[in-house]
Amino acid sequence: MSDQKRAFITGLGGQDGSYLAEYLHSLGYKVYGLVRYSTTRGTSDNLKYLPDDIEIIEGDLTDQMAINRIIRTVKPHEVYNLAAQSHVGKSFEYPQFTADVTAMGVIHLLEAIKEAPFHSKFYQASTSELFGNAEESPQEESTPFHPRSPYAVSKLFAHQMVRVYRESYNMFACSGILFNHESPRRGDNFVTQKVCKAAVNIALGNQDSLELGNLDARRDWGHAKDYVRGMHAILQHHVPDDYVLATGKSYSIRDLLDAAFSHPRVKLNPDDYVRVNPKFFRPAEVHTLRGDASKAANALGWKPRITFEQMIHEMIDAQFAKQELK
C-alpha cells in the first residue's frame, strides 16, 4: 500500500461520521467508512456531501468476523468508532439493541485491532451522558460517572473497555468524552433539530405548535465541525489518553427555543407556540451538563470556534433551504 494515511470510520452516515470523513479527506487521508447494509449514498442525506473517492463499506458492528475482515483489508492507521444507537430516549425502548451495538461493537473493533499484524490507533466516541446528574460542575475527565440511561450505561462499558485494552495490551486507544454537538446534519429525532425544524414550519405557516418535554434541562452544546477536529487531534497526540471536549457553557431548552425563534426569518415568541407534554420526559432525566475542556486545550491546542447562536442559526438556515427545495 502507498504511504497515504488510511482512516476507517464507523457510523459514516451519521452527523459526526460525515464531517470527520470530509475533514480527514481534506488532510490527505484515504478514508474508508462503515455503513449499515440499509444505508447507501441514495438513502442517507449525510453521505451525499462526501467526495466520491471515500470508500463506503457495508457491514455491522455486531458482526465480529466482518469487522476482523474489514480491519485486515483496509489496514487503517487510524480507526474512529462513531457508530452507535445514539438516541438516549430510544435506548429505553430498545435497551438490548443499544447494548449490542454501542457496547459490544467496541469489543469487536478492539479485538480486531489487537489481533491484526499491524498497529492501528483507535478513537472511541464517548459521551457526556456518562456523567448523568454529576455532583460537580463543570465535568472533566476525573468527574465520577453516573449514567442514567441504557445508552449511557452502554457507552460507559465501551469507555472502560478502551481503557482496559490500552493498559492491558499497550494499544493506542483513546476516548473523547464529547458533550452535545449539533449541526444541520443532525437527525430530526434530536431536540435541537426538532426545535429548528418546528420554528421554520411555524414561521411558514405549516405547523401550529411544538410539543417538548423538560424545558429546564441544560446542555453544553457545540458544533460537530469543531468536535471532529478534536477527535483527530486526540489521535495525533504522542500519548494515548481520554479527553473531554466541550464549550464550557450550558444552555437550557428555553435558551435553545429563544435562539431558534429569534432567527431573522422567524422572529416569533416561542411561548406562543411551545407546549410541554409529559410523554417527552425521560424515565431518568439528566438535568445539567457542562464540560471543562482545559485538558484538551492544554495538551492538544483544541478550542471550539463556532458559537451556540451561530450553530442554531445555521441549522435554521438549512431548514429554510430544505423547505425551498420542496
Helix 308-325 to helix 191-203 angle, to the nearest 10 degrees?
50
Q: Of 129, 140, 165, 182, which is the active-site residue?
A: 129
Residue 127 appears among annotated catalytic residues: yes
Task: Provide Rg for the chain, Cα atoms.
Answer: 19
- Environment class of residue 180 by beta-carbon count within 10 Å: exposed (0-12), middle (13-18) or buried (19+)? buried
Which residue's C-alpha cell is 457545540? Answer: 222
CA distances from 313 to 18, 45, 125 (A): 20, 20, 26
Q: Of 39, 98, 127, 247, which is the active-site residue?
A: 127
CA distances from 296 to 9, 240, 302 (A): 22, 12, 6
For residue 67, what is the DSSP state? H
CA distance linking residue 198 with residue 196, whole number of Å: 5
Contact 224, 160 (CB under 8 A): no
Residue 129 appears among annotated catalytic residues: yes
Contact 43, 37 (CB under 8 A): no
Q: Which sign does the torsion angle of CA 6, 10, 14, 16 carry?
A: negative
Q: Of 151, 165, 243, 251, which is the active-site residue?
A: 151
Number of neighbours of residue 201 by Cβ within 10 angstroms: 15
SS3 280: helix
User: Which residues fall within 8 angstroms of residue 38, CB to CB, at 6 or more apart?
Assistant: none
Backbone angles phi, psi at 158, to 5 degrees: -60, -45
Residue 151 appears among annotated catalytic residues: yes
Helix 64-74 to helix 104-115 angle, to the nearest 10 degrees?
40
Cell of 225: 465541525
Q: Which residues belong to the active site?
A: 127, 129, 151
